[in-house]
């Protein structure tokens, strides 16, 4: 646990309308490059317009067919994935050195955050040591990919709520051929919406003990 004298502040942005991937990508990259040891950490919770994002080492053959969905080259780890309406995305602009975390700590925190979010609604999810992300009965419900620059993270996680899965059908999700994706909607009758999960995620961060204060901004 972070010593109380050096605990950072956290700003959480909740976007209540769809937001373009490229805009947020450029903004979080700039924030990470410009921040200093006193800059508060930030977490952005949002949904994107339809987009395929290709990881830094992404192989073009994992995009299986041409479609109307734009493809954006990005600098996170991992292969190609899809984002769009009905999928909760959370971006972590954290100073890992200040938190006393390493990359594995961050990945485990993001995976456990998704596991706890869906557990509240009766879904038993789990992480895999050999394939980052969160799974339910071998189907993937949550993905993640980060970029670390000078000990500071950006990019983050994506949790499928009630999105149209057809975007995933145009790719090998995260580079795994035949990987089946699943949504919260497929597993729970009265499933939580994006707004419900935002409330849950914000409460989890507020009660995490890692931050001296958590400020929430609605966008």
Write the pLDDT tens digit of every residue in 73-108: 999 988 999 999 999 999 999 999 999 999 999 999
The strand pair at 213-218 and 9-14 is best described as parallel
Q: What is the DSSP letter of 39?
A: P
Domains of the chain: 4-218 (3.30.930.10)
| Tokens coding 168 | 């995933």
158 is in an annotated binding site: yes
| Cα 178 from Cα 194, distance rounded (Å) | 27
Over 80: is that where the pLDDT of 190 sits? yes
Average pLDDT over residues 59-67: 90
| Tokens coding 43 | 């977490």
Share of the chain above pLDDT 70, in %: 98
Reply yes or no on whether 163 is catalytic.
no
Lowest-pLDDT choice from 11-15, 38-42, 177-181: 177-181
Over 80: is that where the pLDDT of 3 sits? no
| Cα 124 from Cα 110, distance rounded (Å) | 16
81 is in an annotated binding site: yes
17 is in an annotated binding site: no
Q: Highest mean pLDDT: which of 66-70, 77-81, 119-123?
A: 119-123
pTM over 0.85: yes
Q: Pick the catalytic residue from 165, 174, 187, 198.
A: 174
């Amino acid at each position: 646990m972070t010593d109380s004298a050096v605990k950072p502040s956290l700003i959480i942005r909740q976007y209540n309308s769809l937001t373009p991937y490229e805009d947020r990508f450029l903004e979080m990259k700039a924030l990470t490059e410009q921040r200093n040891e006193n800059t508060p950490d930030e977490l952005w919770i949002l949904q994107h317009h339809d987009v395929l994002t290709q990881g830094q080492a992404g192989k073009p053959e994992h995009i299986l067919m041409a479609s109307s969905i734009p493809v954006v080259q990005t600098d996170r780890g991992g292969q190609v994935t899809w984002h769009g309406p009905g999928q909760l995305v959370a971006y972590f602009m954290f100073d890992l050195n200040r938190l006393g975390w390493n990359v594995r700590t961050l990945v485990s925190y993001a995976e456990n955050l998704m596991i706890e979010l869906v557990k509240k609604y009766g879904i038993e999810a789990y992480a895999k040591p050999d394939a980052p992300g969160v799974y339910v009965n071998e189907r993937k419900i949550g993905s993640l990919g980060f970029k670390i620059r000078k000990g500071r993270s950006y990019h983050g996680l994506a949790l499928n709520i009630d999105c149209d899965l057809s975007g995933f059908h145009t790719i090998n999700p995260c580079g795994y051929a035949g990987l089946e994706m699943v949504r919260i909607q497929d597993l729970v009758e009265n499933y939580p919406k994006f707004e419900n999960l935002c409330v849950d995620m914000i409460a989890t961060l507020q009660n995490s003990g890692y931050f001296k204060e958590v400020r929430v901004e609605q966008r």
